[in-house]
A and B are shown apart, each in its own frame.
Chain A
């Protein structure tokens, strides 16, 4: 039975905006990020990568590199333990161990340009790079494909032999086209037959990258007793431990992973890339520490992007504005190994609406591009582009009001999500209502500059937000401050949001709690910082630990007063006797008396939570287009989002703004631009061109709070949903501005000019 909580309207700490605990270190340059670590005798590693999108490796000759002055070690796939072709669970669902190892260092084939082939360790980074260039690889180049159509051409070979003749491939007709699922509910075919308005379209999106500013990095060293120590920037130290243990075929307890400060992840720093290479190099170089930093180009070419793909969607509505049927086929790029997250796309595509008859068919499509990783609400922005665009078009075709249609068909408590679960209390209706009340919604769009045109669009989006496992340890100092030890790496202020929940529970201030993120030896298992889960789940663990601390302190108070434990109560930071009003003592005063009442007080909290119930957002976008050049400027942007409860509103707003900025980049500009031979042609920040401060307006935020009943403070998780609505919101605004519907993202200047010309 899941515990439920009555939300309070007023809190002392929650909802305030204290300065984050790690802030000082981060504004003074003192914070130690992954690349900042320096160990005695440390040497540097780098990776040689494939220039070809698809090729058989005929031979690798490392002798010239090994002979170079300053080079300590060179490793290839054969230096890693031989990986069986079997399924293993690496914490992110099952995967084939051979694929996992091959993605670290390729064995028989390279499957994408940028695929790692060899690692080199040398006295410094410059020497290591020189040596990597001296490695000779002989390739037999194979036909390659970098999109979901080309990859199933009859002359395109199977990217992974394992799928030849597999059940999914048989049905879909090509080994690169792996069918994942069909979700069906009601009778969509009959419902379409009875619908007054039916509309369908194909949407396509290009692969994009998370774009975190800090490149991947890892430092590894073996102890003489066979223990492996790793320092890295990761979203999950325990996940790194689990993956490295699988790849190196050793026990997890023989590995210590220390998560250093992390410079952004957005899902892309959940998989491992460099860690096993650094470990293999360290061993071969005589157990000295090896540090590796991925170059930016390799971050684009070799680390997990988000899937592009094609989405076919059909919607049916009655003439009185009821959405009655939906059917969709999702073909999402997995990259070179399975795992496009098409399953999540299937969960999200209809999640804003109550549609009684529906079908979703999902395909995981192998292409010669890097294996995709999670990217902020992975799989949801792509399908939001399809449904929020087509809903707008349906409304235009049928003459429905776009807001009213969405409101009338909005998902609510009891609605069935496309893949089956029934929604608990959710905030879709409240978010739509709040969007209509915003200043933005009620303001005129304003005058365009001469020669330009303006348009406004809006769109909504959903993300389910995970729960999972977290652990927190507390210890009480005699001045009444509390040390909080947690395993969730802090990417955007979660030390603060977790400490604040502990403080609220204990009746002390946020500053009285000192949060520390520690290594895998020092705290209980904690799942990744991802899935919008940290403030929800690790915050819940902190709450549990605080409750345990209060219970222990009640015992101490009872000893102090020689009364029965059950006679002690705790409220607003004060312990008192229920029966004797004279007896009361504040949290801090009692902390000073631990020595007299039984010694130190420590407590722990751990959780394993269900999904958080899901969050919704609606975004409103005004933009201005120069029809001559196609240049598009977002001139006003507002985000309305249900946060459940905003623990630290500034960081909630920050998540909303940051997610929207990424989504705007996705909508207008960002893409993997692939050359004909399958090489990413824009693998630098200059050419990939993420939004700068000059490209964006000030992003307005409205936090809606529909408390999550299964969290002590009502938290829902906020980090991911803000990247979901921007692509369709921007697309709908473009349609409003130029009267033409674009169904391919990015909706860049070239596509806008081409649309206007035709």
Chain B
């Protein structure tokens, strides 16, 4: 019988905050934050598209900064705070961006949606009233192959108006 334990170097101890909750776990030193969230923490809302930082499907917020979680190691989030799509809705309901994405039909297959939502939130948190060009510029690191972006941009504009 082969082992069920991942071979290789010993695990790194991580204590972190994810969507406001404390987490503590051991992670292989080479494991990406994306896989850490999906495989160890069990949050699969953050998606894999390319694993090389070029699609943005894996976008999360790390201490308030937008990052591609496939390019960050799980071990790096020790002592830091991570926000994922699962943390956007509260007991009050959906985040205005989530509501606007639904109303504006800003998703087709939806695989890019978590990344776009987290990235757009990162924009609106810092710049509440971006114009269309700024939105397109900010979101250029997130690929969507289904929508042609039009409805995504409109949804972000709508959420921004609603949050004003």
> Could you tell me which A residues sit within 8 Å of B by CB distance?
17, 19-20, 22-24, 26-33, 35-36, 38, 68-72, 123-127, 210-215, 261-266, 293, 295-296, 491-493, 648, 650-651, 653-655, 657-662, 684-686, 690-696, 698-699
In contact, B102 and A123 (Cβ under 8 angstroms):
no
> Is residue B15 within 8 Å, beta carbon to beta carbon, of the partner chain?
no
Chain B residue nearest to A125 in the complex (CB): B35
Distance in angstroms from A666 CB to nearest chain B CB is 12
Tell me, in angstroms, the Cα distance from A127 to B39 when the chains sit together. 15
Residues of chain B lying within 8 A (CB to CB) of residue A210:
145
> Could you tell me which B residues sit within 8 Å of A by CB distance?
2-8, 28, 30-31, 35, 38-39, 42-52, 54-55, 57, 84-86, 88-89, 94, 98, 101-105, 107-114, 117, 132, 135-137, 139-153
In contact, B150 and A699 (Cβ under 8 angstroms):
yes
In contact, B3 and A123 (Cβ under 8 angstroms):
yes
Known: A72-B2, A213-B57, A693-B152. A29 touches B145 (CB 8 A): no
Residues of chain A lying within 8 A (CB to CB) of residue B151:
650, 653-654, 657
In contact, B107 and A212 (Cβ under 8 angstroms):
no
Known: A694-B137, A699-B150. A69 touches B102 (CB 8 A): no
In contact, A658 and B114 (Cβ under 8 angstroms):
no
Main secondary structure of the interface of B (DSSP, over half): loop
In contact, A660 and B148 (Cβ under 8 angstroms):
yes
Residues of chain B lying within 8 A (CB to CB) of residue A690:
143, 145
Known: A693-B136, A696-B149. A492 touches B89 (CB 8 A): no
In contact, A693 and B109 (Cβ under 8 angstroms):
no
Tell me, in angstroms, the Cα distance from A31 to B151 when the chains sit together. 21
Distance in angstroms from B124 CB to nearest chain A CB is 15
Residues of chain B lying within 8 A (CB to CB) of residue A35:
44, 47-48
In contact, B48 and A266 (Cβ under 8 angstroms):
no
In contact, B150 and A694 (Cβ under 8 angstroms):
no
Distance in angstroms from B145 CB to nearest chain A CB is 5
Chain A residue nearest to B99 in the complex (CB): A27
In contact, B139 and A693 (Cβ under 8 angstroms):
yes
In contact, A31 and B110 (Cβ under 8 angstroms):
yes
**A19-B102, A492-B146 are known contacts; what are 4 more A-B pairs with Cβ within 8 Å?**
A28-B94, A28-B98, A68-B7, A123-B3
Residues of chain A lying within 8 A (CB to CB) of residue B139:
692-694
In contact, A262 and B4 (Cβ under 8 angstroms):
no
Distance in angstroms from B134 CB to nearest chain A CB is 10
Tell me, in angstroms, the Cα distance from A126 to B73 when the chains sit together. 14
Residues of chain A lying within 8 A (CB to CB) of residue B44:
29, 32-33, 35-36, 38
In contact, A127 and B98 (Cβ under 8 angstroms):
no
Chain B residue nearest to A692 in the complex (CB): B140
In contact, A123 and B148 (Cβ under 8 angstroms):
no
Residues of chain B lying within 8 A (CB to CB) of residue A33:
44, 47, 111
Residues of chain B lying within 8 A (CB to CB) of residue A266:
145
**7 tightest A-B CB contacts, nearest first:** A29-B45, A263-B111, A661-B148, A657-B148, A492-B108, A26-B110, A650-B105
Tell me, in angstroms, the Cα distance from A661 to B146 when the chains sit together. 8
Chain A CB count within 10 A is highest, among B2, B28, B54, B136, for B2
Tell me, in angstroms, the Cα distance from A26 to B102 when the chains sit together. 9
Chain B residue nearest to A492 in the complex (CB): B108
In contact, A698 and B113 (Cβ under 8 angstroms):
no
In contact, B143 and A28 (Cβ under 8 angstroms):
no
Chain B residue nearest to A217 in the complex (CB): B48
Residues of chain B lying within 8 A (CB to CB) of residue A691:
148
Residues of chain B lying within 8 A (CB to CB) of residue A493:
105, 108
Distance in angstroms from B49 CB to nearest chain A CB is 4
Known: A70-B3, A293-B48, A654-B151. A27 touches B143 (CB 8 A): no
Tell me, in angstroms, the Cα distance from A498 to B135 when the chains sit together. 33
In contact, A214 and B109 (Cβ under 8 angstroms):
yes
Chain B residue nearest to A637 in the complex (CB): B148
Residues of chain A lying within 8 A (CB to CB) of residue B46:
29
Residues of chain A lying within 8 A (CB to CB) of residue B30:
126
Distance in angstroms from A418 CB to nearest chain B CB is 30
Chain A residue nearest to B95 in the complex (CB): A27
Chain B residue nearest to A31 in the complex (CB): B110
Q: Which of B8, B31, B143 contacts A213 (CB 8 A)?
A: B143
Residues of chain A lying within 8 A (CB to CB) of residue B132:
698
Tell me, in angstroms, the Cα distance from A17 to B49 when the chains sit together. 29
Distance in angstroms from B73 CB to nearest chain A CB is 12
Q: Which of A72, A263, A648 contacts B110 (CB 8 A)?
A: A263
Known: A27-B94, A70-B2. A693 touches B153 (CB 8 A): yes
Chosen A-B contacts, 26 in total, with CB atoms closer than 8 Å, are A17-B105, A26-B110, A27-B117, A29-B84, A69-B3, A70-B6, A70-B7, A123-B5, A123-B6, A126-B6, A213-B109, A214-B47, A261-B109, A263-B110, A492-B146, A493-B105, A654-B148, A657-B148, A658-B145, A658-B146, A662-B145, A684-B52, A685-B52, A685-B54, A692-B140, A693-B152
In contact, A654 and B2 (Cβ under 8 angstroms):
no
Known: A654-B151, A662-B145. A20 touches B102 (CB 8 A): yes
Tell me, in angstroms, the Cα distance from A277 to B24 when the chains sit together. 36
Tell me, in angstroms, the Cα distance from A650 to B151 when the chains sit together. 9
Tell me, in angstroms, the Cα distance from A264 to B85 when the chains sit together. 20
Residues of chain B lying within 8 A (CB to CB) of residue A124:
6, 39
Q: Which of B42, B89, B109 contacts A264 (CB 8 A)?
A: B109
Distance in angstroms from A164 CB to nearest chain B CB is 39
Residues of chain A lying within 8 A (CB to CB) of residue B112:
213, 263
Tell me, in angstroms, the Cα distance from A602 to B104 when the chains sit together. 34
Residues of chain B lying within 8 A (CB to CB) of residue A492:
108-109, 146
Chain A residue nearest to B5 in the complex (CB): A123
Tell me, in angstroms, the Cα distance from A24 to B88 when the chains sit together. 12
Q: Which of A20, A213, A698 contacts B55 (CB 8 A)?
A: A213
Chain B CB count within 10 A is highest, among A28, A36, A264, A296, for A28
Distance in angstroms from B54 CB to nearest chain A CB is 4
Residues of chain A lying within 8 A (CB to CB) of residue B94:
24, 27-28
Residues of chain A lying within 8 A (CB to CB) of residue B47:
33, 35, 213-214, 263
Tell me, in angstroms, the Cα distance from A692 to B141 when the chains sit together. 7
Tell me, in angstroms, the Cα distance from A264 to B139 when the chains sit together. 19
Residues of chain B lying within 8 A (CB to CB) of residue A661:
145, 147-149
Tell me, in angstroms, the Cα distance from A35 to B34 when the chains sit together. 12
Tell me, in angstroms, the Cα distance from A264 to B45 when the chains sit together. 16
Known: A213-B144, A213-B145, A686-B52. A26 touches B107 (CB 8 A): yes
In contact, A214 and B111 (Cβ under 8 angstroms):
yes
Residues of chain B lying within 8 A (CB to CB) of residue A27:
85, 94, 98, 101-102, 107, 110, 113, 117
Residues of chain B lying within 8 A (CB to CB) of residue A696:
148-150
In contact, B28 and A126 (Cβ under 8 angstroms):
yes
Chain A residue nearest to B144 in the complex (CB): A213
Known: A213-B49, A692-B143, A693-B140. A686 touches B54 (CB 8 A): yes
Tell me, in angstroms, the Cα distance from A214 to B5 when the chains sit together. 28
Tell me, in angstroms, the Cα distance from A655 to B135 when the chains sit together. 22
Distance in angstroms from A233 CB to nearest chain B CB is 9
Tell me, in angstroms, the Cα distance from A24 to B102 when the chains sit together. 8
